[in-house]
Structure 1
């Protein structure tokens, strides 16, 4: 049997508990298949604790993005569905569990201080939750019949607002999206404006907007054509979206597009 480290010199509290996790338990079966199919991690479903939603993220072969070797990694992650805004944070104390299936008790890891979760830091946990050798050794009871049982307890201690703030997020390799709008009987259009069907690009809903008789200074002399957000009120207050786009009108006789200069949308 591989001995477990109960030395708290690294500041992590390690204990054995007969009581199961208060808030969530997840049974992970066929762990060997995760490795076989190159699935680096397993994310549990959401669970609620302290008025927020959370999930467990498990790396059976260690979190390679943090250069973890010879250990399993386990993290508590706050769900984005209930995550605080950038200028706010939630402080919580948590414990993460793994079941010793031989003795029906749990090996538990806990940091001695509360951790702060916010929009730019949604995960906390343990890169080196358990040595891989200890995890796989049957006499320890953590991995039996290719199955392990993990759990979590989360105790929210306080919420705090840090005042105003903002976050800029850029897409490194944006995907080009195209959408076509066919408008029939243009000569009979008598309303001030018309909207295309809604389409999705870059995780946001958009629509095209046409003013047949022009708009503002162009009324009566020009056709006005716009790209607009379909649901602008769904954005958080003060949020801006930057997008580079081009609006085109097809020359149907020569099968060419007539278009003006592309613009940045904010």
Structure 2
């Protein structure tokens, strides 16, 4: 958008001139550290001679701390208001701008923190009334390694495993401090414990969680026929024992790059 100051931006210095600036419009949807590089010219239409008074194209960087650029002395008021010059006709003048965006980007820095938790975090649940569970069972949110997690179990499976396998997932809900941790590297184990024998069913994997609400698990975690067989020992008195084991190995935090004023 154009901002026109008919009495100059600085009345003490520019009162004899028209000041005009090109400014960013609505930036509410842009990140706090937005940046736009643009080449622009500002022009004033001559309504008598059908030509333009214009500034040469200049390149400027528009930022949150500097959202506008222009000219404090674009044209003198005396020259503009002289009817013979053709810029002010019937008390109307026509300003315009030509803008070419070079690039629009937001910078960020990433900080990698390596963790050394020799003893992994373990959490156990006893899930009662397993045969009466609905579509899924979900744990309460819990903390491990400075981050928030939850477990979700589908007793009848989900996706391609529906009707054949139990599906289990570990969800990531961000750091305890609210820091925008974009990636968390973990070693995690999901285990359904055998209550009769030392033959637990587990799956272990090491990988990254990317962003809050990311999840990892297995659609086909365990065959329904196996977990529901009373001779196998995974369900006793209609109760299942579920355990997760989490080791946070590294955290990458992303934060805006400070903008120099």
TM-score range, shorter chain: 0.3 to 0.5
Give the TM-score normalised by the residue count of structure 1.
Answer: 0.38
Give the TM-score normalised by the residue count of structure 2.
Answer: 0.39
Q: Which has the larger radius of gyration?
A: 2
- Higher strand content, 1 or 2: 2
Q: Which has the higher contact order (CA 8 A, sep 6+)?
A: 2
